[in-house]
Structures are given as C-alpha cells and as structure tokens.
Amino acid sequence: MPWSSILVVANVTADSDELTDALRRRAEHGRVRVQLVVPIGGAGPDREAGERQLERGLDRMAEAGIEAQGQVVRGDPVQAVHEVWDASAIDEIVVSTLPTGVSKWLRIDVPHRLEKLTGARVQHVETAPPRPQPSVSRRERRKERSGLLAPLAALPWSSRDRHDH
C-alpha cells in the first residue's frame, strides 16, 4: 500500500482531539506520513511556545500511531506553507483551526488560499477552543491547635465558628 504524505498546518490546535481523530480516520484509508508545520509570528506565539506546541502535537500523533515529523516556521500560515511546499513530496494539506468567529486563520481564508497556492486538496478541521486551565487558589492554613479537644475544632459548632449575639 503506498504512502500518502500530508502537510498539517496548525498552531494552538496541533494537539487537539479533533485533528488527531481526523488524521486517524485518514490513516484508515491508507498509510500516511505527516509533516506538521506550526507557523509563528505576527499575532502568534513566540518560538518557544511554538516549539512546545509542536512537541505536544507530535506526541499526540505518535500516541495515535501516526508517523509524523514537524517544524516551527516563522510567518503566517500561507507564508509557512509557501516556505515548505514541495509538490512532489506532499499529497494533501490539512488545516486545523479554531471555530469560525474565533479563528484568525479563517478570517483571512487560509484553507482556500492554500488550495489556490498549491493546487493540492485541502481539508479543514475545526477544533473547539482549548479550555482554560482552572485557577488554583491557596487557602490560608488555620493555626493548628493542640490539646485534647483540638479535633473538635473542625466541627461547625466549635467555639471558633460560633457567632454569639
């Protein structure tokens, strides 16, 4: 069975369930090799953040059994694809974005622009926005009481919590 080479263009969605699922479904129709490109610059994250996102994306693909390699490329997604595009080595493109209304890439019509630029088949995968990490607050520890009745201090009727009128 011949290999298909897929260029995946993603940034904050590189490690998303939706992208991994789409690549897994594509692999059901034949063996695939993925080249993940994480564009950075402009409004995007800095190089360190791009490298971290690239690693998370490659890890997710490896966990799904998808052969992948990748790179961080400076520029917007269209410039990044222009820089790495090799028509003899890439069979199709997958663009992973946040949803319409949130995605800057969809506002500038990246999937259609890549299709025009390369002439390749372009699949668009829409991904839910990443959930914010819950904030962790630290409670001030109460002064520990010692003594025979100290365990009773946690009860709601303890003298510390009672409001006398």
Residue whose structure tokens are 């997710």: 60
pTM of the model: 0.76
At residue 85, the pLDDT reads 96
Ranked by mean pLDDT, which of 33-47, 109-123, 141-155 comes out on top?
A: 109-123
pLDDT digits (tens, 9 = 90+) for 61-116: 999 999 999 999 999 999 999 999 999 999 999 999 999 999 999 999 999 999 99
Residue 41 has a pLDDT of: 79
What is the pLDDT confidence band of residue 136, given thresholds at 50, 70 and 90? low
The token pair that represents 108 in the structure block: 């500038």
Q: Which domains does the chain have, with CATH numbers?
A: 4-126 (3.40.50.620)
At 14-25, the pLDDT tens digits run 999 999 999 999
Q: Of how many residues is the chain composed?
A: 165
Integer Cα distance of 34 and 66 in angstroms: 7
Q: What's the pLDDT at 161?
A: 47
CA distance to 22, 29, 68, 149, per residue, from 4 (Å): 14, 10, 12, 72
pLDDT for position 79: 95
Q: What is the pLDDT of residue 3?
A: 86
Cα–Cα distance, 139 to 144 (Å, whole number): 14
Residue 46: its pLDDT value, please?
73
Rounded CA gap, 122 and 93, in Å?
5
The residue that leads in pLDDT, 27 or 43, is 27
pLDDT band at 1 (very low <50, low <70, confident <90, very high): low
Task: List Cα–Cα distances, 45 to 49, 81, 92, 152, in angstroms.
Answer: 6, 17, 26, 52
Query: Poorest-confidence range of 9-18, 51-60, 112-121, 123-132?
Result: 123-132
